């Protein structure tokens, strides 16, 4: 008994060692091949799981130490990966941004879940399934993978783009719908009471009430707690507080019958409006990526190649049919919500697969004897296969839409003109590209414009959102959504053009902040007079950056050096204004 108890922690450590070793080998290889890291983790799960390496280990026991087992501990760690992903995503979403997305969340999201559930259920009825099985199929496969899609968007730096915002909004609504969906599955179970629409309404009200309660408690407690923890200047304690927040609010959501990931997302949103958000994100990013990778490994473990080979036509047809049906539904719905066809198709390909909640819904239906074990096994395998194929099909969708965009420039222009809360960059040179990279790093939507067609062509090949045009014309800036932009930044190295664009932008959109690159202090003063909210002289900024590096190099503490440089920057700007 004692030996067995002592071996359990050792088994877990061995599993983690195997997982980390496989990650170090497979993921870099796929990255060098420009493939998603998600594919690497899924492949690790398939190859080293119970259905491939596990069966080989039965023949050659020497391989057994290298097998990954789908244990309860592994599943828990994988679920924590989803929790931390949603927590980090929440850090990037303010309440104002969420309110701005309400049309997509409660419009497109509700329409997608409702129409997809209905169409899949009707198709199942046509193929001979009874009502209960058809309902479970529709409810389970209407949902997409929050973890996978958001990770793909983060890898592509697309979360803050129109495609990312629409996809995120639909996924958020799907997470909210998990509670009423599970309630509906319970109502269909053998021995359950008759299904009543009022009960679903009650479940929805309970879910929203729980969210409001958790948010209220978190808003009152989180900021004081982090101020208290930050006051002792201990990184370890700060990380502990971040972990406490993410896991604690996830468990609070679970106690109310909500998905743990939804509680984590809410915790991130509450901290997004505080001064601690960037440090929390930096500290938790490595933990989140590893645990999320473990979740994808557990998904790969569920893919039984033997079963696929025993009934390949059924499983392949079911998986591809699911994608085709969902793409055919989501793309027109997204277009109906004013998205241009290229964006709508890309969103549809991202959301075309099943999601991790399909495993939960199917398991609940099997426990309630709504579906037979054999049917449940087929559904779970289709869900796992669709997750495996999603990165490849999403990449295919993106390539297709890039081709459509060339033939659909009018709709693309309308999409840009309707964009909100993004940054417009006038100038695609070295400074403009550097600013675009900084915005990408913080997942802030942006669009650029330059009059050099060759430069724009090169930037677009790199996947950068730059367009050809003359930024000194108000029509060009308006087409890029300048009226609703969070800021306009002018980075060109021609002083006359910079001053002309700054004056035009402030005259046309006086409420939009304008930042500009100045050649020297005198031009910075002229740009301020033209209305620029901030004008940075090249020579001064270069000297300040060199000065900060020098101070760090001779032993001055980072924080002291930054404060010194910040004070000097303000002094130089004030001097430029006075000259």
Answer whether residue 512 shows pLDDT above 70.
yes
Answer whether residue 220 shows pLDDT above 80.
yes
Answer whether residue 408 shows pLDDT above 50.
no
Closest CA relative to residue 366, chosen from 140, 77, 200: 140
Residues 433 and 401 in one domain: no
Residues 465 and 540 in one domain: yes
Answer whether residue 412 shows pLDDT above 50.
no
Residue 7 pLDDT grade (very low, low, confident, very high; cuts 50, 70, 90): very low
Model confidence over 107-136: pLDDT tens digits?
999 999 999 999 999 999 999 889 889 999
Amino acid 4: pLDDT = 46
More confident site: 118 or 435: 118
Answer whether residue 196 shows pLDDT above 80.
no
Residues 213 and 245 in one domain: yes
Amino acid 52: pLDDT = 87
User: Which range, of 198-212, 388-402, 490-504, averages the lowest pLDDT?
Assistant: 198-212
Residues 10 and 108 in one domain: no
CA dihedral 563, 565, 570, 576 (to 10 degrees): 170
Answer whether residue 409 shows pLDDT above 60.
no
Answer whether residue 194 shows pLDDT above 60.
no
Amino acid 550: pLDDT = 66
User: Which range, of 299-313, 341-355, 400-414, averages the lowest pLDDT?
Assistant: 400-414
DSSP-derived letter for residue 129 is -
Residues 366 and 440 in one domain: no
Residue 131 makes CB contacts below 8 A (sequence gap 6+) with 125
Tell me the average pLDDT across 364-384. Answer: 86
More confident site: 141 or 533: 141
Residues 7 and 144 in one domain: no
Q: Which of 96-100, 113-117, 467-471 has the highest mean pLDDT?
A: 113-117
Answer whether residue 406 shows pLDDT above 70.
no
Residue 244 makes CB contacts below 8 A (sequence gap 6+) with none
Model confidence over 228-271: pLDDT tens digits?
888 887 878 888 998 899 899 889 888 877 778 778 888 888 88
Closest CA relative to residue 352, chosen from 133, 112, 153: 112
Residues 274 and 355 in one domain: yes
Check if the beta carbon of residue 271 is closer than 8 Å to that of residue 277: yes
In whole angstroms, give the CA distance from residue 183 to residue 205.
13
Query: Of 23, 40, 66, at which residue does a domain stop?
Result: 66
When divided into structural domains, the chain yields a total of 3
CATH of the domain at 457: 3.40.50.720
Residues 317 and 185 in one domain: yes
Mean residue pLDDT of the chain comes to 80
Check if the beta carbon of residue 373 is closer than 8 Å to that of residue 191: no
Amino acid 97: pLDDT = 66
Amino acid 347: pLDDT = 94
Query: Of 385, 411, 437, at which residue does a domain stop?
Result: 411
More confident site: 201 or 536: 536
Strand order in the sheet with 487-490: 466-468, 446-450, 423-426, 487-490, 514-518, 534-537
In whole angstroms, give the CA distance from residue 82 to residue 62.
33
Residues 227 and 359 in one domain: yes
Query: Of 356, 390, 411, at which residue does a domain stop?
Result: 411
Residues 54 and 93 in one domain: no
Amino acid 540: pLDDT = 63
Decide: helix, strand or coil at residue 337: coil
Decide: helix, strand or coil at residue 444: coil
Answer whether residue 573 shows pLDDT above 70.
no
CATH of the domain at 200: 1.20.1530.20
Residues 387 and 438 in one domain: no
In whole angstroms, give the CA distance from residue 425 to residue 410.
21
pTM over 0.85: no
Range of the domain at 60: 2-66
Model confidence over 131-184: pLDDT tens digits?
889 999 999 999 998 878 988 887 777 776 778 888 988 998 887 787 678 777
Answer whether residue 402 shows pLDDT above 70.
no
Q: By CB neighbour count within 10 A (0-12 exposed, 13-18 middle, 19+ buried), where does 94 fall?
A: middle
Burial 123-159 (b: 16+ CB within 10 A, else e): ebbeeebeebbbbbbbbbbbbbbbbbbbbbbbebbbb
Residues 314 and 177 in one domain: yes
Two structure tokens written together for 473? 């014309």
Answer whether residue 499 shows pLDDT above 60.
yes
Amino acid 574: pLDDT = 67
CB count in 10 Å sphere of residue 39: 21
Q: What are phi and psi of 467, to 5 degrees?
A: -130, 155
In whole angstroms, give the CA distance from residue 362 to residue 139.
9
Amino acid 387: pLDDT = 86
């Amino acid at each position: 008994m004692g030996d067995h108890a002592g071996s359990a922690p050792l088994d877990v450590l061995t599993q983690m060692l195997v997982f980390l070793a496989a990650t170090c080998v497979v993921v870099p290889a796929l990255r060098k091949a420009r493939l998603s890291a998600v594919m690497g983790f899924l492949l690790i799960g398939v190859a080293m799981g119970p259905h491939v390496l596990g069966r080989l280990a039965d023949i050659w026991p020497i391989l057994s130490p290298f097998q990954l087992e789908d244990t309860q501990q592994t599943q828990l760690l994988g679920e924590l990966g989803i929790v931390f992903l949603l927590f980090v995503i929440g850090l990037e979403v303010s309440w104002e941004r969420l309110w701005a997305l309400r049309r997509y969340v409660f419009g497109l999201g509700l329409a997608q879940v409702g129409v997809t559930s209905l169409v899949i259920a009707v198709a199942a009825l046509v193929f001979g399934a009874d009502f209960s099985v058809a309902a479970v199929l529709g409810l389970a496969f209407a949902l997409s993978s929050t973890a996978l899609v958001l990770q793909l968007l983060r890898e592509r730096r697309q979360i803050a783009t129109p495609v990312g915002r629409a996809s995120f909004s639909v996924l958020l609504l799907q997470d909210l719908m998990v509670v009423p969906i599970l309630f509906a599955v319970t109502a269909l179970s053998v021995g359950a009471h008759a299904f009543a629409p009022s009960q679903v309404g009650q479940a929805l009200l309970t879910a929203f009430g729980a969210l409001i309660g958790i948010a209220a408690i978190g808003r009152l407690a989180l900021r004081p707690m982090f101020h208290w923890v930050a006051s002792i200047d201990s990184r370890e304690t700060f990380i502990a507080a971040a972990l406490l927040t993410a896991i604690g609010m996830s468990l609070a959501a679970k106690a109310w019958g909500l998905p743990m990931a939804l509680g984590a997302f809410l915790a991130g949103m509450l901290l997004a409006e505080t001064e601690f958000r960037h440090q929390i994100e930096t500290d938790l990013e490595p933990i989140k990526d590893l645990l999320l990778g473990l979740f994808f490994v557990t998904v790969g473990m569920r893919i039984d190649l033997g079963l696929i080979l025993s009934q390949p036509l059924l499983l392949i047809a079911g998986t591809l049919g699911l994608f085709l049906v969902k793409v055919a539904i989501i793309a027109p719905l997204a277009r109906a919500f004013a998205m241009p066809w290229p964006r709508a198709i890309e969103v549809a390909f991202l959301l075309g697969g099943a999601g991790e909640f399909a495993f939960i819904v199917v398991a609940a239906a099997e426990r309630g004897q709504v579906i037979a074990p054999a049917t449940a096994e087929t559904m779970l395998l289709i869900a796992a296969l669709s997750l495996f194929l999603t990165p490849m099909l999403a990449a295919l969708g993106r390539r297709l839409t890039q081709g459509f965009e060339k033939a659909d420039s009018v709709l693309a222009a309308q999409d840009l003109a309707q964009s909100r809360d993004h940054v417009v960059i006038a100038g695609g040179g070295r400074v403009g590209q550097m600013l675009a990279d900084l915005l990408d790093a913080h997942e802030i939507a942006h669009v650029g414009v330059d009059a050099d067609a060759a430069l724009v062509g090169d930037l677009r090949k790199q996947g950068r959102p730059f367009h050809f045009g003359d930024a000194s014309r108000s029509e060009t800036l308006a087409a890029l959504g300048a009226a609703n932009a969070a800021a306009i930044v002018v980075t060109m190295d021609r002083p006359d053009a910079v001053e002309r664009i700054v004056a035009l932008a402030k005259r046309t959109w006086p409420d939009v902040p304008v930042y500009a690159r100045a050649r020297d202090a005198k031009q910075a003063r002229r740009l301020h007079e033209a209305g620029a909210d901030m004008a940075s002289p090249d020579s001064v900024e270069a000297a300040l950056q060199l000065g900060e590096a020098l101070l760090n190099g001779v032993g001055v503490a980072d924080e002291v050096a930054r404060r010194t440089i910040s004070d000097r920057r303000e002094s130089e700007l004030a001097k430029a204004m006075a000259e």
